[in-house]
């Protein structure tokens, strides 16, 4: 892995030199845009709308448009000179229980590796976080924007999770939230029974990307010159007007049969400390 950012973690008077690495990667099937008629690549060029000339990437800057239509041009030096302490520093603000953070706030994940002189304070912070059961709430500036972030421990490594600012999360304004929906006690018990029947500990390795696999099969079939066999869509049973209790009961029965054939039994999820 190649580091994408070098800086320090600071909490109190302690500073830890670190290197930041992207912790996740996309495994999507990559495509190019092509001309349907002959398969030629479709290219996009950066053309200046004033002079009409193609602009090399090295000459591209960022522009902020004023209400008057005038453009304020900002170069890389302008961003480097921003008066932010977080430009090269992960600044710890507080320590909080992880369950107080709404997961909708989380953005991207990064691994933190200590520099040669930062191993001891890194391990000190890591172990203290684990013992406390809390996460560090911090601020950091990455990719030309400052973000809130959470520092937590994963498999012995400090992980930085960037977070959205509160005003970046939309409100769910749906009409049904204001309506009084009547749920019968029997329906509620049956729904709880279905949840219990389908409950087990989460294992991410037990799941796979069926869409990507199907797409790769389509591509391979075209390479081999075969026709693509399209599976028939399952027939939808019931609908909005179907009897909810009957659907719930059938779902519970199906889930029980599935657990019986796979040998899996519902397990109660253990709450982590």
Q: What is the average pLDDT score of the chain?
A: 86
Average pLDDT over residues 90-105: 96
Say whether pLDDT at 154 is over 90.
yes
Nearest C-alpha neighbor of 90 from the set 4, 149, 135: 149
Of 27-36, 150-159, 171-180, 232-241, the one with minimum mean pLDDT is 232-241
Residue 73 phi, psi dihedral angles, 5° rounding: -95, 130
Q: Pairing mode, if any, of strands 106-114 and 62-65?
A: unpaired
CA-to-CA dists, residue 176 to 27, 179, 181, 231, angstroms: 37, 5, 8, 36
Alpha-carbon gap, residue 136 to 98, rounded angstroms: 9
Alpha-carbon gap, residue 94 to 135, rounded angstroms: 9
Contact predicate 150/40, CB 8 Å:
no
Q: What are the pLDDT digits (tens) for 42-79?
A: 988 999 999 999 999 999 999 999 999 999 999 888 87
What whole-number percentage of the chain has pLDDT above 70? Answer: 89
Alpha-carbon gap, residue 113 to 129, rounded angstroms: 16
Q: What is the pTM of this model?
A: 0.74
Domains of the chain are 5-24+81-168 (2.40.290.10), 183-262 (no CATH)
Nearest C-alpha neighbor of 133 from the set 28, 272, 265: 272
Q: What are the pLDDT digits (tens) for 205-218?
A: 898 888 888 888 88
Alpha-carbon gap, residue 88 to 11, rounded angstroms: 14
């Amino acid at each position: 892995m190649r580091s994408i950012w070098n800086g320090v973690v600071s909490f109190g008077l302690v500073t830890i030199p670190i290197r930041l690495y992207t912790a996740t990667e996309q495994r999507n099937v990559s495509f190019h845009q092509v001309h349907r008629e002959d398969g030629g690549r479709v290219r996009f060029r950066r053309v200046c709308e004033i002079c009409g000339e193609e602009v090399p990437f090295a000459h591209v800057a960022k522009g902020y448009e004023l209400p008057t239509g005038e453009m304020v041009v900002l170069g890389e030096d302008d961003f480097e000179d921003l008066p932010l302490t977080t430009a090269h520093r992960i600044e710890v603000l507080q320590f909080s229980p992880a369950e107080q953070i709404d997961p909708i706030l989380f953005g991207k994940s990064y691994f933190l590796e200590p520099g040669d002189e930062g191993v001891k304070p890194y391990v000190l912070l890591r172990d203290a976080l684990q013992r406390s059961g809390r996460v560090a709430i911090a601020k950091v500036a990455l990719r030309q924007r400052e973000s809130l972030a959470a520092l937590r421990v994963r498999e012995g490594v400090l992980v930085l999770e960037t977070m959205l600012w509160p005003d970046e999360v939309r409100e769910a304004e749906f009409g049904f939230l204001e309506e009084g929906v009547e749920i019968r006690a029997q329906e509620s018990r049956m729904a709880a029974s279905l949840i219990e029947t389908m409950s087990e500990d989460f294992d991410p390795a037990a799941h796979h990307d069926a869409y990507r696999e199907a797409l790769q099969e389509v591509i391979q079939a075209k390479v081999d010159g075969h026709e693509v066999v399209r599976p028939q869509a399952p027939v939808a049973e019931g609908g909005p007007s179907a009897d909810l209790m009957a659907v719930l009961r059938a779902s519970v029965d199906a889930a029980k049969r599935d657990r019986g054939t796979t040998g899996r039994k519902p397990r109660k999820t253990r709450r982590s400390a």
